[in-house]
Amino acid sequence: MPKFMDVHRGFHNVTADQLMEAHKKDLEIEAEEGVHFERAWLDPTSGHVFCLSTGPSADAVRKVHERAGHPADEVHQVDVEVE
């Protein structure tokens, strides 16, 4: 299953609780699109959120975020991962 990193902008001064709330909305509906969000990271100063997921396509990832009310600004299929 491909992996994706998506980027949201404009989340300035969002708190940990607010990020968790938004993330839970994704988790509640993600299975309907075959997607799973693994982790998300927030920089409250720059307002950037990065979400790492697996799913069938970038469109499926986009659809979950749109349905949850926070569309992604970018979705990247990250075919290569290193540790």
Enumerate binding residues for its own copies (CB under 8 A).
3, 5, 14-16, 19-20, 23, 38-46, 48, 50, 52, 74, 76-83
User: Smallest distance, Å, CB 9 to its own copies?
Assistant: 11
User: Smallest distance, Å, CB 61 to its own copies?
Assistant: 13
Give the separation between CA 6 and CA 83, rounded to whole angstroms. 19
**With respect to its own copies, which residue has the nearer C-beta, 46 or 56?**
46
**C-alpha 3: how far from chain center:** 11
User: Which string of DSSP letters, residue by residue, matches 24-48?
Assistant: HHHHHHGGGGT-EEEEEEEETTTTE
**With respect to its own copies, which residue has the nearer C-beta, 31 or 41?**
41
